[in-house]
Amino acid sequence: MKKNFIYKLLTGVVLISGLSGCLKDNSQPDFTKNKPIIELPIGSSSGNEAANSIAASFTVSNTPADYFVWVNYAAPDANSKDVTITLSVDTAAVSQFNKVNGKSYTLLPTVGYTLASNKITIPAGARKVQFPVKINTAALDPTKTYAFPLTIVDGSGFTISANFARLITIISLKNKWDGVYTVTGTMTDAVNPAITGQYPHDMQLRTQGPNTDAIYDPSQNTFGHGILNGGAGSYYGSFSPLFTIDGASNKITAVVNYYGQPATNGRAAVLDASGVNAFTMSSDGSTPVSFKVKYIMTENGSNRTSFEETWTYKSAR
C-alpha cells in the first residue's frame, strides 16, 4: 500500500510539472514584430493564382457613381507617418481571372471610369483609407458584366501583400426598375385554350438599357414569360416583353419582343393603350412599389395572347 501511495504521488508531481512547463511555453509567434504590409483587403484570398474579386452593382445614370476600394496598412501599430500608395489599372489581370475562373467578363473601358489620381495617402495614425473611383455608368452597356482591376504597384517602401495586392471589381448595371417581382393578373391565349396564366409567379425585370427592361423567368432560366400549358409550368418560346419606360413619369411607353420585332417564329409584342401602363414608385422615386401593364403577344401579325398584369416589387435582383 505504501509503495502504491508513493508511486501515485510521484506521478502527480510529474503531471503537474508537465502542465507547468506548458504554461511557460514561449513558442507562440510574437505578432508585435510583424512588418507592415500594404494590401487591398477582402474576405479571403482567391487561392487560385487569379486576383481576388468583389461584386458591385450600379444604377444607370447620367451622374457618375461613387465607388471606393479600401487600401490597408496592416501592422500591429498604426503608421507613424503618411504612407503614399500607388495603384494601377492592371488590364492583364482580367484575362488571367477569366481564364482561371472560366468567366468572360469585359474589361471596364477607360470611358467607364475616372480616377482623380492613381495614388492615395494613408495618413499618419490611420490603418486604412478609401481609394475613390467614379463609375461612368451612362457610357457602359447594361447587358454586359464588367471587370475593373486594381493592383498595388508601390507601397512606399513597405511590403506589398502577396495574396491581397490585386482586386477585381465585378460590375453589373441596373436601372431603377430592375428587380424581382411577384406577378398576378390574367392572360388569354386565343389559339390554345390549354395555355393559361401562371399566377402568382415570381419573375424579374432585367436591365437592357437606361430605360428598357426585359422579362426574365428564373424558373425557366431564360428571358421569357412563364405560363401553364395543361397545368404544367412552361413559357412562350422566343418571346419576352421588353418594356420601354419614361424616366420622368415612370410610364411604360412601348413594349416589343426581346427576341426581335418580330422574332424568327413570328412573335411580337404590342402595348395595349387601355391599360394603366405605369409604375408606382417609392416616396423618394428610387425604388418601384409596383406597376400595372396590359400588352398583347402577336403571332404572324395576328393577336394571339392578351395580358393584364400587376407586378409587385419584391427585392433587388
Whether residue 200 is preceded by a cis peptide bond, meaning omega within 30 degrees of 0, is yes
Residue 146's pLDDT is: 97
Full set of structural domains in the chain with CATH: 32-174 (2.60.40.1740), 179-315 (2.40.128.420)
Per-block average pLDDT, block size 10, for the chain (317 residues)? 45 41 42 76 74 91 94 89 96 94 96 97 94 96 94 95 94 95 98 96 94 95 95 95 97 98 97 98 95 98 98 95
Q: Are 291 and 311 in contact (CB under 8 A)?
A: yes
Residue 12's pLDDT is: 45
CB atoms within 10 A of CB 117: 10
Type of residue found at 85: I
pTM above 0.75, yes or no: no
Q: Strand, coil or helix: what is 144?
A: coil
